[in-house]
Each structure stands twice: as structure tokens, then as C-alpha cells.
Amino acid sequence: MKKLLSMVTAAALAIPAAVITPPAYVNADNPAIQTIYSTDPAPMVYGDTVYLYTGRDADNSDNYHMPDWHCYSSQDMQNWTDHGMILSWDSFSWGKQDSAWAAQCIERNGKFYYYVTLENKSGGGRGIGVAVADSPTGPFKDALGKPLCGPDWAYIDPTVFIDDDGQAWLMFGNPTCYYVKLKEDMVTLDGEIKHFDMNKDTFGPSSKQSSYGEGPWFYKRGDLYYLVFAAFYGNDGGESLGYSTAPSPTGPWTYRGQVMRPHNCFTNHPGVIDYKGHSYLFYHDASLPGGGTFDRSVCIDEFTYGADGSIPTISPSKTGPKQLKSVDPFKRVEGETICFSKGVKTENCSNGGLDLANIEDGDYVKVSGVDFGSGAEKFTANIASATDGGNIEIYLDSLSGKKIGTCSVPATGGWQDWKEVSCDVSGASGEHDLFFKYTGGSGYLFNVDWWTFGDDEETPQTTTSPAPSGDSGDYLLSCSFESGDDGWEGRAGASVAVSSKASLTGSKSLCCSDRSSEWQGATYKLGSSFRAGESYSFSANVMYDEGSADSQLFHFTMQYDLDGTTKYDKIASASPMKGKWSQLANPSFRIPSGAENVYIYVETDKGSTSFYVDDVKIAAAGTEIEGAVGGQFILG
């Protein structure tokens, strides 16, 4: 039997956007994304980082016109780095134009599975599709060429979870919540699609079967399973959020209460995570200027569970969550790393990643919680301008706060013709919110790839072509792990932590643990100054001191995206003796032309032993970088 549009979806489509009036513009840190209208947040903690996956409402929409899905990442919960559009309705041969509704991504065995809602273009309703990638930021590809579930008008809003016993569960649906097991490959159903018993005791009171509407978010905390969902309780003008808990994934569910009251937008959609000891609710509202029921924006607020596992009723805040760690301005920061912005957009950058674009006179970007320590004296930015450029005015704490400098940006001949510009700054020390205000003539002024501060006249540390000078210290990258992880992360679920147990030089190194597969190692994303098509000298040092003394082959590998595929090339390999440091080095290794999203990482050819990494350095091609001796050395 042909299914009708569900009551909630029908109601959502019928409600005029004007019924709910968004609040006046405020300079706050919610909504978290300002460069697009973002929807249906799906956060994922992977390694040290929170990845935020969102849908997108087309500008000035009068309905749910949703062209694509986007990804952002943060390690501090205030500043989000934009990874751009990572998947679109037309990546699915069966998808109808602009029907890219809610989605969620999960990692399993080093691969990333993105479950999405799309309307089937040849009829029958919506369906759940699945796309797969080798990195959290894509590129994602339709894994099946057809819906995994559906088509069926009730099949929307997938949520996915892998239980402690390894069983993966997929749940979805409006206005009934369906569930099905997934096989280990994550793209095959394991059994029949069933649905929960929907009533007021299981999913809350309503004049309908239950208050459950759509947008389920399924997870486990301790021994308790949670389903947080978009809810209708009655004549309350829009969706609330509610939640139920259960002792098993299949129930029996007990309705526990309201998580958020209707706000300023007809729909809402939850995403819940724990990260670095804090709990966060992601949701969407209509609070960006020009926003409304069909131009929504993702927001984030922190909350605390009750001792009985209860979720409080959370009020949307203007400030968002507390920042977890400060930004180091002496490292390169991407232009598209933003706490709050006005007017600007992002676009693909020829140096890899994105850049900040569409900058006009009076636009600005706020970066929250920047720690200048004892002071900064120079500012450098990589910029491009096809017009006459303009100025970057730099303020502390607010747009009317202390002005610490103005950097003049010249014409460079093209929107992707990059040039470093520098200016002196004064009065920046300690921790501040940083405001970049862009000024100039009419039209678009310039683009920003990255920026950094220096602490003396010799800066910037962003020099892109150091002289090859052996161990003199002129490195493009030098990670000694003496004062932190230097931006390294666990790869594919492995953990990394600074360790004092072993070191090649200094007193610390990076320990990589929690490995169950050879490709789980320690990884670092190369910044945009490392140019595709150019060669560099690479060196890393490794040591293991546990497990069997059988020879272990270590690989220093480069991962990159090229022509829509993720590729892996060995830079160097070595077999150290147990307990002895060994160098993995290659004095001239070329980053392939066209490579994007370039990572370096250390892995082993087998086994799951923890290992240590120290003194990872990159210099100009031809530089001989000193390192440990030992092991059987194999160039990549």
C-alpha cells in the first residue's frame, strides 16, 4: 500500500515560515555555524576531535530545499574549522535533487560510514542511503548505488550506533521509530526492519500515538541506552526534544522527559555526545540573521546528566559551551577556523582545504580564546585578491576593543594567487578573543588561507622555503612533543599521548596505544604550506618496547585525496630492534600533484603493540635530518 506523508512531515511542509519569528541578530557564539544555514547536527568524536556533520538549507528557502551535507571540526567546542561540502544529493544516482535531509556518520575499522536521508527520484518515498570514506572529512561515495532501507515515506533521519559487543544498530523514522541490525560491513542489513512500540509510556504523551516525531539519536551511557528525539506534545507550535531510556537497544523504552522546549523554529533535531569529560546537546534553530523554519542553524549547549542518568531540560544559550582549550596563535590557524563571523563564506582553496572568501567591507571573524602568552609582535596571513585588496584590522576582545594592528592586503592577481603579508602588532599578550575586521572598497576584497602571529622580528615561523640546513633548526615542521602533542592525533581509533617513559631527544615523546590493527597509528595533517607537487625531506623516529622481539616493520606513510580517491604512499620504512630507536627518513619525497587533505602517519605492518614517536621533522628537499641510528632502513 502506498504510504502517505507522515503527519509530522506533512505538518512541517505545511507550516508557513513566517509563523515563527527568529530573534533579532545578536553577536553571540550560537549558532555555531554562520557561513551557511546548517541543519540536523550529527556530532562524532573521533580521536581528539569532534567532527560536526550538518545538512544545509538553501538560502531564502520556502521549503526544505537541502542540497548537500557539510563537515566541521573542533578540539575546543568554540572554534570550528570548516571542511566544506563533503557529500551531496547528486552523489547518489537514485537521489532526488535537494532532498539531502538528516544524516549521521560513524567510524568502524578505519572507515567512515555516512547514513543519509534522500528522496528516491523514481518514487516510493524517502530512503536511507549509506556512503563510505577513508577519512572523517571524505571524500564519501555511495556504497550501494541504491537505498539501504526504503524507499518509504516514513524512512527518514538515520541514527547509528555500535554497541560494546560490536553489534551495529540503525534506527530511523517519522512518526514511528524503526530499528534494524547492521552486519559488520556496515552496509548490509542483518535481519528485518522492526519498529518500537510507540505509546505515551515509551515515547511520551501526545494526542497522536506518542510524542516521538522524528530525528532519533541513539546512544549508550554506562549500561543505559538513550533515544533522544524531536517531539510533539500538543499545541506547542513546533518541535520539542524529548528522550526515553531502555536497558537494551530494543527496549523496553521508558519515556523520561523533555530535553528542550519549542524554540524559534518549527523543527528541531538532536545530537548528543560526551567529549573530554563534558556532555553536549547539538540542535538547530532559526537564530542566524535571515533565518527561519527553512533556513535553520546548528547550535550547541553543554549540560550535566543527573545522578540517575536523567537529561535536564536545556535552554538554548547565546554563548554556547565553555571553550575547552585556548588557540595557539603562534601556530598556523586556518582562515576558515571560526567562532563567529558576519558576512563571510568559505570555498575550496588551491592549497588544499578551504579558504575564507566573499569578504566585503565591514565583515568580520571572531576566533575565541587565543593565548598570546607573553606577547606577539608580528601578524602574517596568506591572502589572495583578484581586486584591490583591503585591510585586516585586528582587535582584542570585541570589535570595539583594543586595536593591535592593521595589515594591508594588496592585489595578488587572482582569488587563488596566494601571497604572505605581514604587519607589526602591539599590545597582544595573555588570552583574548580575537576579532579580524575586514575593510576596503566595494565588492569582494580578498581571501584568507591561514594566519599566524610571531613573537619577534625574525618571524613568521610560516616561512615556506627554508634553506636546507641540516640540523640547524630551519624546519618546516618540527614536533618534539616536549610541550604537548604538537597537533598529532590517534589514527583510526588509536590513542596518542605525550609520554615521559621514552624519548630520543629531550625528555618526552608521543606514545601511540589502543591499537588493534596495523593501520591504527599516530597521524598529523599537513598544513597548506606543504604544496602538492613539491618534494620535501621527511624524518620521524620510532621505538617499541613491549610484545615479542620479532622484527616489527614500521612505516612512515602519507595519506592524501586525489581525483576523488584516498591514496597511501610509503615515505620510508624501518625494522627497529625492540627497545631501540630507529629513524624513518626520506630526504626527497614528493607530495603528489593535486593531492589534497594530506596526512603523514606512522603505522606498523602487523600487530597491535603500542609504540613511541619522537622528533618528526620536515625540511626542504635534500636536507639530511639527523635521527636515530639502527633498524633496517628502506626508502619509500
Cβ partners under 8 Å of residue 513, min gap 6 = 494, 495, 496, 497, 610
Instruction: Name the residue nearer to ligand FUB (CB basis): 116 or 616.
Output: 116
Task: Provide, rounded to whole angstroms, the least separation between the CB of residue 584 and ligand FUB.
Answer: 46
Residue nearer to ligand FUB on the CB measure, 47 or 55: 55
CB of 105 to ligand FUB, least distance (A): 15
DSSP-assigned letter for residue 611: E
Does the footprint of ligand FUB cover residue 215 (CB under 6 A)?
yes
Site for ligand FUB in 62-121 (CB under 6 A): 64, 66, 101-102, 117
Quote the CA–CA distance of 141 and 144 in Å, as a whole number: 9
Instruction: Report residue 181 as a C-alpha cell.
Output: 541490525
What residues contact 531, with CB distance under 8 A and at least 6 apart?
Answer: 351, 464, 591
**Residue closer to ligand FUB, measured from CB, 100 or 504:** 100
Residue 239 CB, nearest approach to ligand FUB (Å): 8
149 binds ligand FUB (CB under 6 A): no
Report the distance separating Cα 37 and Cα 61, nearest Å: 10
Name the residue nearer to ligand FUB (CB basis): 67 or 375: 67
Query: Least separation, in Å, of the C-beta of 312 and ligand FUB?
Result: 22
Query: Binding pattern to ligand FUB, positions 267-306, x when CB under 6 A?
Result: x-x-------------------------------------
Beta strands in 460-501 (DSSP E): 477-479, 489-490, 495-499
Instruction: List the one residue out of 386, 342, 382 whose CA is nearest residue 362.
Output: 342
Quick one: 181 or 284, whose CB is closer to ligand FUB?
284
Q: Record the cell numbers describing residue 283, joined without a space.
A: 540542535
**CB-wise, 43 or 215, nearer to ligand FUB?**
215
Give the N- to C-terminal CA distance of the chain in Å, as an integer: 60
CB 440 within 8 A of CB 388: yes
Q: Which helix (H) or strand (E) holds 108?
A: strand 103-108
**Exactly one of 40, 82, 614, 615 binds ligand FUB (CB under 6 A); which one?**
40
Give the nearest distance from C-beta 54 to ligand FUB in angstroms: 10
Kindly state the number of chain residues that form the binding site for ligand FUB, as judged by CB under 6 A: 15
Q: How far is the CB of 100 from ligand FUB (least distance, A)?
A: 9
Q: Which of 156, 357, 381, 574 is in the footprint of ligand FUB by CB under 6 A? A: 156
Residues 224-243 that bind ligand FUB (CB under 6 A): 230
Q: Which of residues 48-67 bind ligand FUB (CB under 6 A)?
A: 55, 64, 66
Q: Closest distance between ligand FUB and the C-beta of residue 268, in Å? A: 7
Q: How far is the CB of 104 from ligand FUB (least distance, A)?
A: 11
Q: Which is nearer to ligand FUB, 55 or 631 (CB)?
A: 55
Residues 6+ apart with CB under 8 A from 323: 76, 77, 78, 79, 368, 369
Smallest separation (angstroms) from ligand FUB to the CB of 101: 4
Strands (E), 546-595: 554-562, 565-575, 582-590
Question: Nearest 5 degrees, angle CA 312-CA 317-CA 322?
Answer: 90
Considering the complex, state which of residue 271 and residue 321 has its C-beta at the smaller distance from ligand FUB: 271
Closest approach, Cβ 209 to ligand FUB, in A, equals 18
What is the rounded distance in angstroms from the CA atom of residue 247 to the CA atom of residue 215? 21
Nearest to 337 by CA among 166, 621, 82, 600: 82
- What would the grid cell of residue 341 be? 563571523
What nine digits make up the cell of 51? 567532527
With CB under 6 A as the contact rule, the residue among 82, 107, 142, 157 that binds ligand FUB is 157
Amino acid, res. 368: S
Q: Should residue 37 be labelled a site residue for ligand FUB when binding is judged by CB under 6 A?
A: no
Q: Which of residues 196 and 556 has its CB atom nearest to ligand FUB in the complex?
A: 196
Taking CB under 6 A as the criterion, which residues in 245-274 touch ligand FUB? Answer: 267, 269
Spatial neighbors of 50 by CB under 8 A, at least 6 apart, are: 43, 44, 73, 74, 75, 77, 273, 275
Chain positions contacting ligand FUB, by CB under 6 A? 39-40, 55, 64, 66, 101-102, 117, 156-157, 214-215, 230, 267, 269
